[in-house]
Amino acid sequence: MPALIEVNHLSYVHPQAAPAALPALQDISFTIEEGELVSLVGANGSGKTTLARHMNALLVPTSGRICIGGFDTRQEKDYSTIRSMVGMVFQSPEDQIVGMTVEEDVAFGPENLGIAPAEIRRRVNTAIETVDMQQFRLRPPHQLSAGQMQRVALAGILAMRPSCIVFDEATSLLDPQGRRDVMDLLRQLNREGLTIIYITHFMEEAALANRVIALNQGKIVLDGTPAEFFSGQARLEEIGLSLPPAAALVVQLRPVLPALPLGLLTGESLLSALPSCPMPHILVTNRKPMARPVSPVLIEVSNLGYTYLRGTPFAQRALAGVSLKAGDHINHGLIGATGSGKSTLLQHLNGLIRPQEGTVRVGPFTLNDAKISLKTVCQYAGLAFQIPEAQFFEQYVGDEVAFGPRQMGMKKGLAGPVRQAMELVGLDFEKFKDRLTFTLSGGEKRKVALASVLALRPTVLLLDEPLAGMDPVSHRELLAGLKGLSGQGMTLVVSSHYMEDLVDLAENLTLLKSGKDVLSGSNSAVFSSQEILRQAGLEPPLVTRVAQCLRQQGWPLPEGVIHAQDLVSLLEQTLRGATA
């Protein structure tokens, strides 16, 4: 029997590429057998998506060949067979839903395969049950959350009964809960015998595979087990990737806890490998939570309520009595699942949405006052939207960044603020100002988008998921850039799905759940409230979980440890105390 996927010396050149351009894929060869769980990793632009699209004949090799279950993808007559064997779930949830209701979308694939109506109905029912979307089956797609849409997309593939599913960064735009759900589903399907190939930027997700294939500049640089793949940190950085957070933490902890084995790749395996305290029980003194420096309140929201499409049958309550206080020069983080109201709240803070109930004050502006114009407020509080690069409207980087100042009536001397804004995010003015926006890499686009908000020199910077969808290297660069900004005298209000990032980026946090603030406080206090976080579909950062687990093992650690360095030095102190 032929292998499920057999790739032989595959090379691919984009048809529109310049003649001198490097091929997108170069001499790729590998075989995937039935039942494998493979993760495909690599930096942005390394050719992962291009390779994935060869696996169900969306692209055909320029040279070499790829056979799916023995069928060569160059034979157009076999497309129906190939596409019923290998299904694909794409990154962007809304673009891949064709049907007008959940149910009909799931039926789309089987209908195209010419399956009998009664059988389609059966398959659709099973597929919708598998992804747990029964109660939404008649909903139109645009009324679903991103995570739900992604589950519908998966159901649509499952209904075609493929033997293999390829996920192209299917989790990168989802919240932690949505990501966990999709990853759990994908592993469960693999246990049931399906072959799964998934592209991911999250190294902890890559670590869950049985096999990792890594691409760099169109070539395979490694094909092996996760343990082999993650054994060399230097090589990972070279190709724009990183260790999974658990493995990175192990590296930091091993000097103090030599008993920790190397090669722990997931949070769960790390937590279960933590040693108990070698000393008899020591009384744990709870560290007093550090008092925050007192500063005047810059942003004050009280009892804010907001309903979208109020007064129509589609009314949707987004905020139901949120209160929040953010101090001057104290960065504030907003956390919560998708749909908890973070974006709606942020849009209130620069006056895009005016309060329906409750009050909002941002700096000197009381936003309940309709006379205060949006134009005034948005100079004071700049807002960068989710995936801001999707809203680029100028051709050139320089014009895009200059849009804000130009709107404010600036005609001459635009270069100054534009240069300043670009340099704040680490973009060289001379090098980038005349670049076309669509030729930039993912990370560069995000920086331009940030610069275009910074060009108005705002006092408050509102960031909605500033790091979503970035590969590990761009993620790290952007994070460093954002930290730098708060040093420039700006106050940041950041919403994020990545708890780890907020450890450094926000001193205070507010947890939102169904449009209400359920928890506010310093980041260490909020992250220590594991139970409340879990109920809201979130998980504290790994360091906090490790510290909590060590406490349970008898280590005298205080609550609220959120920095790896703190954890290491606390453990050192304990051990030194024991030997002294």
Could you say which residues in the range 71-100 bind other proteins, by CB under 8 A? Answer: 79-80, 83-84, 87-88, 90, 92, 94-100
Q: Which CB, 176 or 388, lies closer to other proteins?
A: 388
State in angstroms the smallest separation of the CB of 128 from other proteins. Answer: 12
Rounded CA Rg of the chain: 25
Q: Which CB, 296 or 311, lies closer to other proteins?
A: 311
| Site for other proteins, residues 279 to 308, rule: CB under 8 A | 308
109 binds other proteins (CB under 8 A): yes
Kindly write out the interface string for residues 246-265 of this chain, putting x where it contacts other proteins by CB under 8 A and - elsewhere.
--------------------
Q: Which amino acid is at 446?
A: R
Neighbour tally for 234: CB within 10 Å: 6
State in angstroms the smallest separation of the CB of 48 from other proteins. Answer: 15
Q: Which two tokens stand for residue 462?
A: 């509102």
Contact 196, 171 (CB under 8 A): no
Q: Which CB, 299 or 543, lies closer to other proteins?
A: 299
113 binds other proteins (CB under 8 A): yes
Could you give the angle at the alpha carbon of 578 between the alpha carbons of 575 and 580, nearest 5°?
A: 110
Kindly write out the interface string for residues 48-67 of this chain, putting x where it contacts other proteins by CB under 8 A and - elsewhere.
-----x--x-x---------
Among 17, 390, 415, 480, binds other proteins (CB under 8 A): 390
578 binds other proteins (CB under 8 A): no
CA–CA gap between residue 280 and residue 324 (Å, rounded)? 44
State in angstroms the smallest separation of the CB of 440 from other proteins. Answer: 15
Q: Which CB, 19 or 114, lies closer to other proteins?
A: 114
441 binds other proteins (CB under 8 A): no
Stretch that binds other proteins, among 190-198, 374-382, 539-547, 558-566 (CB under 8 A): 374-382
Exposure string of 313-345, with b = 16+ CB inside 10 Å and e = fewer, is eeeeebbbebebbbbeebbbbbbbbbbbbbbbb
439 binds other proteins (CB under 8 A): no
State in angstroms the smallest separation of the CB of 31 from other proteins. Answer: 22
Among 4, 207, 299, 456, binds other proteins (CB under 8 A): 456
Q: Which CB, 233 or 307, lies closer to other proteins?
A: 307
Of 87, 57, 95, give the one whose Cα is nearest residue 75: 57
**Count residues contacting other proteins (CB under 8 A)?**
74
| Site for other proteins, residues 473 to 532, rule: CB under 8 A | none
Among 231, 379, 420, 514, binds other proteins (CB under 8 A): 379
Among 1, 20, 294, 309, binds other proteins (CB under 8 A): 309
CA–CA gap between residue 60 and residue 58 (Å, rounded)? 7
Give the number of C-alpha atoms closer than 13 A to the C-alpha of residue 251, restricted to the C-beta side: 13
**Backbone region of residue 42 per phi and psi (left: phi > 0; alpha: psi in -120 to 50; beta: other values):** left
Stretch that binds other proteins, among 21-29, 250-258, 371-379, 472-480 (CB under 8 A): 371-379
Q: Which CB, 456 or 550, lies closer to other proteins?
A: 456
Q: For 141, which DSSP code?
A: G
State in angstroms the smallest separation of the CB of 207 from other proteins. Answer: 27
Contact 101, 140 (CB under 8 A): yes
State in angstroms the smallest separation of the CB of 490 from other proteins. Answer: 16
| Site for other proteins, residues 147 to 166, rule: CB under 8 A | 153, 156-157, 160
Beta carbons within 8 Å of 331's beta carbon, 6+ residues apart: 486, 491, 492, 493, 494, 505, 506, 507, 508
Contact 31, 164 (CB under 8 A): no
For tokens 């100028």, what's the residue?
394
Sign of the torsion formed by the C-alpha atoms of 26, 29, 30 and 31? positive
State in angstroms the smallest separation of the CB of 454 from other proteins. Answer: 11
State in angstroms the smallest separation of the CB of 433 from other proteins. Answer: 18
For tokens 């609550």, what's the residue?
559
Stretch that binds other proteins, among 262-270, 326-334, 375-383, 506-514 (CB under 8 A): 375-383
| Site for other proteins, residues 118 to 137, rule: CB under 8 A | 120-121, 124
Of 369, 430, 364, give the one whose Cα is nearest residue 397: 430
Of 96, 104, 143, give the one whose Cα is nearest residue 127: 104
Of 305, 296, 427, 456, give the one whose Cα is nearest residue 363: 296
**Long-range contacts of residues 243-250, Cβ cutoff 8 Å, at least 24 apart:** 243/203, 244/203, 244/204, 244/206, 244/207, 245/203, 245/204, 245/500, 245/542, 246/204, 246/207, 246/270, 246/542, 247/203, 247/207, 249/542, 249/543, 249/546, 249/564
State in angstroms the smallest separation of the CB of 57 from other proteins. Answer: 9
Kindly write out the interface string for residues 327-366 of this chain, putting x where it contacts other proteins by CB under 8 A and - elsewhere.
--------------------x--x-xxx------------
Q: Which CB, 80 or 276, lies closer to other proteins?
A: 80
State in angstroms the smallest separation of the CB of 185 from other proteins. Answer: 18
Kindly write out the interface string for residues 399-438 of this chain, putting x where it contacts other proteins by CB under 8 A and - elsewhere.
----xx--xx------------------------------
Give the H or E element holding residue 183: helix 176-191
Of 151, 147, 6, give the one whose Cα is nearest residue 89: 151
Q: Which two tokens stand for residue 315?
A: 């009314």
